[in-house]
Chains A and B, each alone.
Chain A
Amino acid sequence: MKKVVFWGTRGSLPVSLNSRDVREKIVAALSAANGKSFRTPEALNDFVNKLPFSIAGTFGGQSSCVEIVHKGPEHVICDMGSGARVMGQDKIARFGVPNPQTYHIFISHLHWDHLMGFPYFQPMYIPGNRIVIHGCHRELEDAIHQQMSNPNFPVDYSQAGARIEFDIMEPGRTVFVAGLNVTPKRQLHSGDSFGYRFESVDRTVVYSTDSEHRLDDLESHRGFVDFFAKADLVIFDAMYSLAEAVSVKADWGHSSNVVGVELCHAASARRLALFHHEPVHDDKQLGRLLTETRRLEQITRGDNPPLEIYSAYDGLIIEL
């Protein structure tokens, strides 16, 4: 595995910056410039590069869609949230039409925010493409059909030009797909969700979203430590604060940055990407969460090797 590309990182519902948010960023950038003038475009770029990400950038608002780039010709993707639209456009731009491609898509679960991008994933309308949808829910095929049928969507599923296949996987059973060993794991979430562990000869990536962790369940804790063991990257549902996740939002099916750090430390993972961001959090809040999570990692590390912390944003590429 070479790298991981995040096309959609937001939880539950796509969001967007509004004009007030953009204005706030402009005001913050101009305040930081403090009347400075820039003689060259390079000088201006340097200045912008030094601004905090919450001012010069944005986490984006597309819902879950993550690509794992391996050496083979086949594409490996986790979930089809609204980020899949952007990914589809990128694939068409890169490979052109006709230029048949194979897409392996692993679906964590059938909630709306993880499937809604599929009807907007352009490669599915192009004959010659092959799309294999992998998942552990028996209703996987029905859910995709339903989403693209009257009155939910104007284009019926039968209009798909690509060849679409379904592969129902078993939790705990490893399959070999596109040059990778893939092992699903059942996670605590309404209607069940499944995490996936992807292994190549020398790299491991775990995609674990929409997953609540019962802190009094030591057996489950150990199960996740094994599932994350020595991973080069763990993509982790960190939607809530720990306090919310164990109190007012207990049983809502999500987890926190604190539990992500604990599990990754216990599993000796190398990198943790906070994922499935709360829609009400703006760039400033997400930036603060990242800073706090890095600090937490530092003060609770003990004898563990350092864990690199990212907060996933739309467009982030992590080289493995």
Chain B
Amino acid sequence: MNDMTQTNLERALKIVGSRPARPDGVDKVTGRALFGADKSLPNMLVGRVLRSPYAHAKIISIDTSKAEKLEGVKAIITSADFEDFPSEFVPNGEMVVNMKDITRNVMAREKVLYVGHTLAAVAATDEDVAEKALALIDVKYDVLPHVLEVEDAEKSDAPLLHDDMITIGVEPMPTSASNVAKRVEFGLGDVEKGFSEADLIVEREFTTQQVHQGYIEPHACLASVSEDGQAELWCTTQGPFVVRNFCSKLLGFNAAQIRVTASEIGGGFGGKTVVYLEPLALALSRKSCRPVKMEMNRAEVFTSSGPTSGAKIWVKIGVKNNGKITAGDCVLKYQAGAFQGAPVGPGAMCAFAPYDLKNVRAVGFDIVVNRPKVAAYRAPGGPISEYGVESVIDEIAMKIGMDPIDLRLKNAAKEGTVAPYGPKLGPIGMIETLEAAKSHPHYSAPLGANQARGVASGFWFNIGGETSSSITINEDGTVGLTLGTPDIGGSRASMAMMASEELGVPMELIKPIIGDTNSLGFNFLTGGSRATFSTGTTVVESTREAIEELKKRAALLWEVSLDQVEWVDGHARLISGNEPKTMSLAQIAKQAGKTGGPIMANCSMNVTGAGPSLGTHIVDVEVDEETGQVSIVRYTAIQDAGKAIHPAYVEGQMQGGAVQGIGWALNEEYIYNDKGELENTGFLDYRIPVCSDVPMIDTVIVEVPNPNHPYGVRGVGETPIIPPLAAISNAVSRATNKRFDELPLSPPKVLAKLMHG
């Protein structure tokens, strides 16, 4: 594969790197695109969910008999309709999941563990009947004390969420249960020795709050199970194959019985990688033998889907006066929500990963609390740990009087650096993005009154994984691509562009679609910034296979051997011979019937070799010291994309990540009352940024090719949410001369710090 990269990079690219309109664009702007809630079927029922009003309670009984008698109610399900599972951990992208927990999160069993936890679901002829039925379900609870914060949950007298949970990863193994699910540790060298060599040591504690991905489209699905057990599921998801596997396991179907079709998706950011409504709709449909449609409202999305962790972190870094870091140490305590699986592992792995450190340690704790179970959110775990590290780096830069970019350059990871989590890094763009940041006009622009500038960097691994796609050459010379990773950021455009580049036919003649779970081999979900990297790799491979086939057909028609045919600009060309002879793809396709039948190719593989992506962001803030309001005056995001197949969509990822990071830094937070009820279950009080809150986000794409992708792609979707948290906090700290160590930097919190220190 290395060789192929060379060929491609040396060849002048015609399509890759340009900015054509996306194939799904017209449908999106005309409202024709069908999202999760947009499909309906004849005879369809409406499904609604009964949710726990308590943060923590034992379920004594659930009596559905009254609700069942209500006219129009066709099915009611509770945990009795689901099989139980033993504790078993299975990897799911950047997270690990456990079937025992998943079935309990989908439908509470012995206990409810957070307000909004599903207890029962009803399918009825319309929404009003379904709502009335929910009110008729009689649940008896034994309410238990609850716990919301990690520092309370880890105390020995804390209410226990799971009385059989013994902390994994501590020696000796604890003898009693606690809310601490596991301890992880990564590192190199000897941190104590490193600190003893330091001229300056800075250590600090940080707090971040739970935040939600804030996708605009709520979870929604439509399930139809026939009398013979064949199931169709239409849903908004980042991974139809993963949904199929979860649902078939939870409900005792085999994989072939469930066909999952992914709708267009109105944002996922990691939150649509697990199942909530889908198994309920299938179970209700199986019970009623009618199609069942389910949709969450916004409040349900906030209380009952999977936000990411709030956390407490501690960071300590030692440096020489010349800026060389001698040691880095951190402890991360992440909220998992009601079931274990906080993204503290990746958080610990990437905390110090932008740097080349000899002595480094990162310890993480995965702690359960009475909040919804966290799901992935863009670079899960990374923004939190790197916020702490990047804040301390900035504080050090100020204390030793060094430019914060120079300090980072002095310690930057590069090709050959041993990462704190073990492996030796291949080519990476930390130095290149820092240099691009330093030379960007933004970095030297004058600042106004009450303004200051902050910078921060971010590292994210990216992943590959199981991938399968196919290409068909149609008889009129057009091309079909069937892909298995839902398009959440313009990936259909990028795939068509890569196929177009390889084939030499215009992109407009290529139609990419997302296939259902019956049309391809297993595809892992769109996550880990893997779609353009992994699916792109299979598209290039299968396109090259199709080209080989096209050449074969031309050789047959010309009655020459295959080695006499080459592929140039969408044409087969005869290499030798007196006069130049060519045949277009369309001409070959038209005659496919008589040269061996339809032409198609597919590629299925477990793609490896994803390249980490590094980013550096620069932000100017203005602080109103009388009100504590922070405004973002100017913002520049710089990132290594490896290769930007479609630069506009790479920039879109960088801008979108930056804006989500700005929201995380400034105003977003889950606010609970003392009963454990979420108080801000809508966008009015859960404050994601509105357009007028952010300036135009300027972007610079740096390209340090990933040798493991035919065009050098790394994956860009996640890294850009990492730097904003620290960049903004650093800028606010510099503007006010006070070191901020808590997010969000909402006006009341900033003013309180300015008033009381």
**A-B complex is real:** no
| B interface residues (Cβ-Cβ under 8 A, vs A) | none
